[in-house]
Amino acid sequence: MKLRFLYSTSPGGSCPTLYETDDGRIVVQGSALTDAEALDQLRDVLDGETAVVVPRELLAGFDPKA
């Protein structure tokens, strides 16, 4: 799988960051959600899935047409 950088709100280019895979899916790089109470509230988490925390600005600033 190849990733293409899309957008980041981090000046250093680390997380949070959005990428697109070569088959059109979106990958989100962010801090792992570790709060036990919040993790218990997630629904239908399958094996191999995880949750990451990203600031609202990352999604609000992303322009999929760019």
The two structure tokens encoding residue 11: 């000046």
Note the pLDDT tens digit of each residue in 20-50.
Answer: 999 999 999 999 999 999 999 999 999 999 9
Residues 6+ apart with CB under 8 A from 19: 3, 4, 5, 6, 26, 27, 29
Q: Residue 31 has what pLDDT?
A: 92
In this predicted structure, the answer to whether residue 13 has a pLDDT above a threshold of 90 is no
DSSP assignment letter at 50: -
Q: Measured between alpha carbons, how far is residue 44 from residues 48, 52, 54, 57 in Å?
A: 12, 15, 20, 26
Instruction: Look over the chain and give the mean of its residue pLDDT values, rounded to a whole number.
Output: 91
* The predicted structure's pLDDT at residue 62: 83
Whether the pLDDT of residue 10 is over 90: the answer is no
Q: State the DSSP string of 10-22.
A: -TTS-SSEEEEET
